[in-house]
Amino acid sequence: MNKPFDVEIERLTAPGSESIRPLLGLAQAPERGTFFLETFGCQMNDHDSEKVAGVLLARGYRQVGTPDAAGLILYNTCSIREKAAQKVFSRLGEYRAKQSEGKIIGVLGCVAQQEGEGIFERAPWVSLVCGSASYRKLPELIAQLESGNHRVTGLELDTDETFETEITRRDNPFRAYLTIIEGCDKACSYCVVPYTRGPERSRASDSILREVRQLAELGYSEVQLLGQTVNSYADPTPRKMRFAELLLAVAEVPGIRRVRFTTSHPSDFTRDIVEAMEAQPKLCEHVHLPVQSGSTKVLRAMQRTYTRDEYLGKIAMIRSARRPIAITTDIIVGFPGESEANFEQTLSLLDEVGYDSLFSFKYSPRPNTPSLKLNDVIPEEEKSRRLAVLQDKQREIQSARNKRLTGETFEVLVSGKSRRENQWSGYTSSYRLANFTSHATELLGTYVQVRVTGATPNSLVGEHVV
């Protein structure tokens, strides 16, 4: 989805950093040391880092902005596509000298899970390796290091608990992320997530609602429920709240004005979710529904559990809603065996669906995944060509879709202020980025009406309607 690249964002202090400590009775925690946390990856990873930071802050650590100022340097990274492991090791190389200064260096996230203790061999200056399914143990692991242990790991995947913290240090002052389901039980043949994040674990509905109430009290009005397959949510409590019911319950929490959720798996996308969105305008008009390919043959090889027609059936269901709902997706090009004709089916799917935005990727073979063994590998140059063709097509589609909105007025949650005078930005309920002019003096964090006066492929341009 679009990032507000057209404007310079002015960051506010995130609720949950300094301000949350007294609220949680943490003001007295003795200062234990300082940590620097660098994150690379998806929203889930960003949010994991927010939780890790929360856990450390609650234990009396202070977060600092540079590795030089930190006693504890943590690198949280994702390995879904990139040659992430290589990237990690080059970054760790930069941290090498820091260990001799007495600093603790730790690797978290997917790469930690994947490479495990091998990290110690390649980078002996690292003393902590911990995958996302073991973050609950982080404070304990750090305590072990501080009491003289040389190397510690948290690599168990069979945890049946979710990573819940009493405090999460949230980076975004306007939208709060909240994980409702961890791990993944699907088995897409290209994907490392089931190996790096473990099996699916849903969080208790009452615990989710408790956190949403806290967030509302802290001043957040928008929450985004997160999960690799967020709509596969299965409430572990006797209440057995369905995902659609949970969405409605979250929307009803006083103070909450917008609810988003991502990422939805098409196979688990049921009609009651659309009905909930029809009934409750606080549920944002946006569904991210990754298709991955427009070819049933490729979908089968990907083990995606639906055909092109079944996917289109879900799209028709969403499009038939009484509210307009924006649809975005993820696509992988150059999966092994993807013929030119198969790729063209993906292109025709773009026309058929009319996505409002998409993330597109070249297939990247990942360790331990079943698709690693598939023959008929597509050459890199051909993958790049397909990606460029796909992106060009989508740019045209988006440009036309956005232009059609000229003259309409949307509610925008203002989250950015440009250095250019009177220029602001924010997102519509449909998750379109809107850059707009306003002569108001302060708008950050407020909801305003914006009339669209123009559009680019990635954003709307407009003016504040007072």
Q: Which is nearer to ligand SF4, 16 or 194 (CB)?
A: 194
Single out the segment in contact with ligand SF4 by CB under 6 A; choices: 188-196, 293-301, 319-327, 388-396: 188-196
Within 320-424, where are the H helices?
340-353, 380-403
How far apart, in whole angstroms, are the C-alpha atoms of residue 287 and residue 261?
A: 8
What is the H or E stretch that residue 258 is in?
Answer: strand 258-262
* Residue 37 lies near ligand SF4 (rule: CB under 6 A): no
Single out the segment in contact with ligand 5AD by CB under 6 A; choices: 139-147, 274-282, 295-303, 356-364: 356-364
Q: Which is nearer to ligand SF4, 21 or 265 (CB)?
A: 265
* Residue 459 lies near ligand 5AD (rule: CB under 6 A): no
* Residue 266 lies near ligand SF4 (rule: CB under 6 A): no
Decide if 315 contacts 327 (C-beta within 8 A): yes
* Residue 328 lies near ligand 5AD (rule: CB under 6 A): no
Chain centre distance of CA 127: 28
* Residue 332 lies near ligand 5AD (rule: CB under 6 A): yes
**What number of chain residues touch ligand 5AD (CB under 6 A)?**
12
How far apart, in whole angstroms, are the C-alpha atoms of residue 107 and residue 128?
A: 6
* Residue 80 lies near ligand 5AD (rule: CB under 6 A): yes
How far apart, in whole angstroms, are the C-alpha atoms of residue 164 and residue 180?
A: 10
Q: Which is nearer to ligand SF4, 224 or 229 (CB)?
A: 229
Cα distances (Å, whole numbers) of residue 225 to 152, 309, 342, 466: 32, 28, 34, 31
Decide if 54 contacts 16 (C-beta within 8 A): yes
* Residue 188 lies near ligand SF4 (rule: CB under 6 A): yes
Q: What separation, in Å, do the N-terminal and C-terminal C-alpha atoms of the chain show?
A: 28
Closest CA to 427 of 230, 50, 175: 175
Min separation Cβ 126 and ligand 5AD, Å: 25
Token look-up 């009493």 returns 166
234-240 contacts at long range (C-beta below 8 A, 24 or more positions apart)? 234/181, 234/200, 234/202, 235/202, 235/204, 235/205, 236/202, 236/203, 236/204, 237/204, 237/205, 237/206, 239/205, 239/206
Single out the segment in contact with ligand 5AD by CB under 6 A; choices: 104-112, 160-168, 297-305, 363-371: 363-371
Residues 239-298 that bind ligand 5AD (CB under 6 A): 290, 292
DSSP structural state of residue 81: S
3-state secondary structure of 413: strand
* Residue 386 lies near ligand 5AD (rule: CB under 6 A): no
Q: Among ligand SF4, ligand 5AD, none, what does residue 330 contact (CB within 5–8 Å per kind)?
A: ligand 5AD
* Residue 229 lies near ligand SF4 (rule: CB under 6 A): yes
Min separation Cβ 194 and ligand SF4, Å: 5
**What number of chain residues touch ligand SF4 (CB under 6 A)?**
9
* Residue 265 lies near ligand SF4 (rule: CB under 6 A): yes
Q: Taking CB under 6 A as the rule, which mask of x and - marks residues 185-224 in contact with ligand 5AD?
A: -----xx---------------------------------
Within 302-339, where are the H helices?
308-319
* Residue 225 lies near ligand 5AD (rule: CB under 6 A): no
How far apart, in whole angstroms, are the C-alpha atoms of residue 254 and residue 306?
A: 38
Q: Among ligand 5AD, ligand SF4, none, what does residue 228 contact (CB within 5–8 Å per kind)?
A: ligand SF4
Neighbours of 379 (CB within 10 A): 9
* Residue 361 lies near ligand 5AD (rule: CB under 6 A): yes
* Residue 47 lies near ligand 5AD (rule: CB under 6 A): no
* Interface residues toward ligand SF4, by CB under 6 A: 184, 186, 188, 191, 193-194, 228-229, 265
Contacts with ligand 5AD by CB under 6 A lie at 80-81, 190-191, 290, 292, 330, 332, 361, 363-364, 366
